[in-house]
Amino acid sequence: MNQEVFSALSEALNRGEEVALVTIVSSTGSTPQRVGAKMLVYADGRTVGTIGGGCYENDAFGKAREAILTRKPITLKFELNDDFAQETGLVCGGQMEVFIEPVEPSPELFVFGAGHVGYFVGKMAHETGFKVHVIDDREKFANSERFGEGIDVIVDHIPTWIESHVLPPTSYVVVVTRGHTHDLDAMRALAQSPLRYLGLIGSKAKVKRIFDALIEEGMPAAKLSGIHAPIGLDIGAITPQEIAVSILAELIAVKHGKISGPNTAAVSMRWEGALAKR
């Protein structure tokens, strides 16, 4: 039975689908399933495998769907008492502990802008397990020879590419184009999309100008509240490499649930000199 679960898990990850793996990790007394029994739960309610049926499996099923949403593991303990025996017809009397683990595919990161900052963000993110896509209209910067193997590099007009692609809601998006106009064009196309992370590089003044322009165009202010801007954690970054580290640190923090909303600390204004090199 577990082989079927493992196969389904592998297929789900290959499709980029989030699931939760439910495993019996300990049991004492009489229980319907042994330690190690597994059930895979999909976000839409499908399941593969079983941990024994009954009301406790139904409870674990509900918690598993919750874990997919929160992206946090859960441990449950069950007392298989007379009420359980009456409902299921099974003679039990033991205790069981179940571990529910949300499992995600490799997170997809879309880097809009292949300049100095975009280059280091893409390279570092690839090394830390992100599935990286880099999009820029400049073939001089956006080419596979420069970024190396394992990074998907696309040469295209950024707004046009965004309009023709639907990014998954689990996507991480970093906007680091070569200038204010290009950043505005990208944000105009991205800001209303449901994304796990959307970050915009620039000083506080530049971010305000872009947000003001979007609002004047009719963009609801609420759509801008979830954008990480200025992008990255405030570590006093100056060079493109350091800026990339601060951005990647924020991406990882969001990935692991350490940051749920935009970073409120302003990124150092000393970035301005480095931004000119993009």
**Extents of the domains making up the chain:** 2-103, 108-275
Q: Where are the alpha helices (DSSP H) in the chain?
A: 2-14, 54-70, 82-88, 116-127, 144-147, 158-163, 180-190, 204-216, 221-224, 240-255, 271-275
Give 278's pLDDT tier (boundaries 50, 70, 90): very low
Residue 71's pLDDT band (cuts 50, 70, 90)? confident
Give the C-alpha distances (Å, rounded to integers) separating 198 from 173, 221, 252, 262: 5, 15, 13, 9
pLDDT of residue 143: 95
Residues paired with residue 133 on neighbouring β-strands, in sequence order? 110, 152
User: 211: pLDDT confidence band, cut at 50, 70 and 90?
Assistant: very high
The proportion of the chain whose per-residue pLDDT surpasses 90, expressed as a percent, equals 69
pLDDT, position 83? 53
Task: Over range 58-81, report the average pLDDT.
Answer: 90
Q: How far apart are CA 65 and CA 67, in angstroms?
A: 5
Query: Rounded CA gap, 51 and 118, in Å?
Result: 46
Mean pLDDT over 160-185 rounds to: 93
One-letter amino acid of 225: S
**Torsion on CA atoms 184, 190, 196, 201, rounded to nearest 10:** -10
Q: Residue 164's CB: how many other CB atoms inside 10 A?
A: 8
Q: Is the pLDDT assigned to residue 78 strictly greater than 90? A: no
Which tokens in the block code for residue 99?
């571990």
The whole model's pTM is what? 0.77
* Tokens 């196969």 -> residue: 7
132 phi and psi, to 5 degrees? -100, 135
Provide the CA 44 distance to its chain's centre, in angstroms: 18
Are 224 and 216 within 8 A, CB to CB?
Answer: no
**pLDDT mean over 142-164:** 95
Say what the alpha-carbon torsion angle 178, 184, 188, 192 is, to the nearest 10 degrees. 80
Q: Percent of the chain scored above 70 by pLDDT? A: 87
CATH 1.10.20.10 fits domain 108-275: no
Q: If residue 48 lies in a helix (H) or strand (E), which one and from where to where? A: strand 47-49
Average pLDDT, rounded, for the chain: 87
pLDDT exceeds cutoff 90 at 92 = no
Beta bridge partners of 152: 133
Question: What's the rounded Cα separation, in Å, for the pair 109 and 171?
Answer: 6
Report the pLDDT value the prediction gives residue 240, as an integer from 0 to 100.
96
Each residue of 249-276: pLDDT tens digit?
A: 999 999 988 887 664 433 333 334 434 4
